[in-house]
Structure 1
């Protein structure tokens, strides 16, 4: 354990040591200013990942189009990135909802100086919230203090006798670079309602008795570590924006990532395919050795959550979703990249996208306007789910759903950009005849 700790600390201070070395060289002699260091391969091959994420080194994959597009695919290369080791859970998404609700409660309704770090200014400049104090009373919307409840009433509504949040009030506001194909890109600010569709189970399966899931799946603690569902693509992107800001603010101050400008988003479909493959043979499917494990009785057991046949949901251990760390991780250390829930990606959907996207970090971006046709709002969905047949579970199988439509079988995970490590190929050597 002692050696492991030393190794990790070495990773943490790589950029700092490199900077210090260059400064010393630069000060020793004016001639040394022009001398670059020789390159050595980085030992270990990967960087320590932020909590809950896994480092994926740069690599090349065969990026395939839709089966009916007639395109067999092309090789594309991906830069290194970090990706969530699991699908985003109900507990994680509830934290996002409560953060948004607390922000609105404090800034729009309570407006009490005790909840802020700075005093109100005459020009109405946005004040900084004292989150250390807010966390002691969070979530504010569940407060039993009559004076608080009275002030925040506009952001609440009753479902029967149960207090809940008003979806028209609880929205996350963020800015992003809007992309519409080859048209001019521009920064826009959008407010996205963050509450999920809790009754999505009954909506997706109208002739099934699933009201118990409607009432409990997102809110009850027994489902804390199940994948969140009922989330639209727009909500998933809003969550990834929030989580990136939270992570950079709270987790990177004393780490080797401090000072880097790293993007946080939904994975592109090429990133998702690469990570899902886990460096396994693309021919492996549900029947392959990488997606199965051996039971104590010597018989092969299922290792993914999917529909095994007509009406056969339970052979894998569950009739719907399972906790996000069920079964075994792939060789990258990622769980449930096949089965459990399908996952949103960043890309707009086109059957022929592979033919015209770049062969380096490919992505097809299109942010549709509200009055655009649904065909322009389609987003790529990857990975089969608990309700899909086995042929949907291959890492190169792609589907789509429109960006405003939630489902009980679609969840998501996030990615963060990373930087390259010197590999063995780039090591400085003498020329060999």
Structure 2
């Protein structure tokens, strides 16, 4: 009897073990991590207009005249615009902001909204399909629309244009004053670039034609936008990040990831500029000339070649953003054409105290702060700078509210690491 009982217990235990093993097999993915293999191709497909920059390490320096030898810093993978932001891209932003204001503040017609009007009239989402049929609204020839949106417009000479005091973009961000204070705030930024910036920057030069046409005429569609302050550039990057995520997350491998979109940090900018796939491919080491049709070498970077000499590179001011040849990462014109805003606040000694992993120096000055606290790092030489400014390590600055005809920008978006042949699973 005891033997029968023990046999039954043994059979029950065996049956439980079978179920337990079967349960383990059914949740195999929970307990058994997959082997690591190198990602084929070595880089992720990039969002439209961007390229993938893998993680890496560079020597990060402070101001060249500070005597600082710099330090090694490492950067996580990210995406960066393959070109500077163009006039056409920035006009899309301006028109989006103008359309939003026209619909919500002036037209207020139900046909342009997804929901019916509530009692307080707040919180309705715009029906962009309906809006895009007449976008940009401020250029509408419909006399009824033109009359209702008249406060948005002003006369610029003999032409009608948008009023910068009305067309503003509202967004929230984490305001940072070093390590002292961090808080979420909402900012409102006028988005119209300073179209007369050419004559303002060069008051004794005949540049009124550029003032009148550079931002608005289609012949300059693919030239880098200029006359945009750091604050405006940050507003654009916020808008573009939201637009890109809304479009990509529906049908994309990026779905579900929380990815940040911003201006590049100066470390990201330097790394992308140096194209470290090949350590020899730095701005200073890259061949900056091409063979011309006449057998002579021609310059392949847009900068000032000497006092009064601008034209030997093929232009006297800016060039289309895909001029010349991209670097090893596939990024265009990190040297020359226009200098570029970065996310960092400027300090000559920043390299001494920023982190050695994804370094950035953030400081959002208040309106009444001194200009010294509003300085932002500008990287890369421009069409009006001499050759020594083309070095990828050269740093400069401008205050965050001040636009120029020689400063543009590009955007970055965070990415994630890819497994490489170095990290793949091997036998012991």
Residue of structure 2 in register with 1:212 after alignment: 209
- Equivalent in 71, 77, 90 of residue 68 of structure 2: 71
- Equivalent in 230, 239, 244 of residue 241 of structure 2: 244
Residue of structure 1 in register with 2:128 after alignment: 131
- Unmatched 5+ stretches in structure 1: 1-24
In the TM superposition, what is the alpha-carbon distance from 1:26 to its structure 2 partner? Answer: 8.9
Residue of structure 2 in register with 1:295 after alignment: 292
In the TM superposition, what is the alpha-carbon distance from 1:30 to its structure 2 partner? Answer: 4.9
Asked if the contact 2:275–2:282 (Cα under 8 Å) also holds between the matched residues in 1, the reply is: no
The change in CA–CA distance for 1:26 and 1:290 in structure 2 (over 3 A counts) is farther
Which has the greater radius of gyration?
2
- Unmatched 5+ stretches in structure 2: 1-21
**1:371 equivalenced with 2:368 (yes/no):** yes
Segments of 4+ in structure 1 off by > 3 A? 25-32, 280-286
Q: Provide the aligned C-alpha RMSD in A.
A: 1.6
TM-score normalised by length of structure 1: 0.91
Counterparts of 2:24 and 2:199, CA distance in 1:
69
**1:426 equivalenced with 2:423 (yes/no):** yes
Asked if the contact 1:26–1:32 (Cα under 8 Å) also holds between the matched residues in 2, the reply is: no
In the TM superposition, what is the alpha-carbon distance from 1:301 to its structure 2 partner? Answer: 1.6
Counterparts of 1:359 and 1:148, CA distance in 2:
55
Counterparts of 2:201 and 2:328, CA distance in 1:
33
Residue of structure 2 in register with 1:18 after alignment: none
- Helix, strand or coil at the partner of 1:61: strand
- Equivalent in 340, 354, 361 of residue 343 of structure 1: 340
Asked if the contact 1:325–1:336 (Cα under 8 Å) also holds between the matched residues in 2, the reply is: yes
**1:101 equivalenced with 2:82 (yes/no):** no
Counterparts of 2:158 and 2:103, CA distance in 1:
25
Residue of structure 2 in register with 1:172 after alignment: 169
- Equivalent in 132, 142, 146 of residue 145 of structure 1: 142
Counterparts of 2:210 and 2:391, CA distance in 1:
28
Asked if the contact 1:284–1:290 (Cα under 8 Å) also holds between the matched residues in 2, the reply is: no
- Helix, strand or coil at the partner of 1:275: helix
Counterparts of 2:29 and 2:294, CA distance in 1:
67
Counterparts of 2:391 and 2:157, CA distance in 1:
44
Residue of structure 1 in register with 2:404 after alignment: 407
Residue of structure 1 in register with 2:14 after alignment: none
**1:330 equivalenced with 2:291 (yes/no):** no
In the TM superposition, what is the alpha-carbon distance from 1:33 to its structure 2 partner? Answer: 2.7
**Mapping 1:42-53, distance limit 5 Å:** 42-53=39-50
The change in CA–CA distance for 1:82 and 1:284 in structure 2 (over 3 A counts) is closer
- Equivalent in 241, 265, 269 of residue 266 of structure 2: 269
Counterparts of 1:285 and 1:164, CA distance in 2:
40
Counterparts of 2:283 and 2:292, CA distance in 1:
19
Counterparts of 1:32 and 1:171, CA distance in 2:
51
In the TM superposition, what is the alpha-carbon distance from 1:91 to its structure 2 partner? Answer: 0.5
- Helix, strand or coil at the partner of 2:181: coil
**Number of residues of Structure 1 aligned to a counterpart in Structure 2:** 406
Residue of structure 2 in register with 1:308 after alignment: 305
In the TM superposition, what is the alpha-carbon distance from 1:282 to its structure 2 partner? Answer: 6.4
Counterparts of 2:283 and 2:362, CA distance in 1:
29
Residue of structure 1 in register with 2:155 after alignment: 158
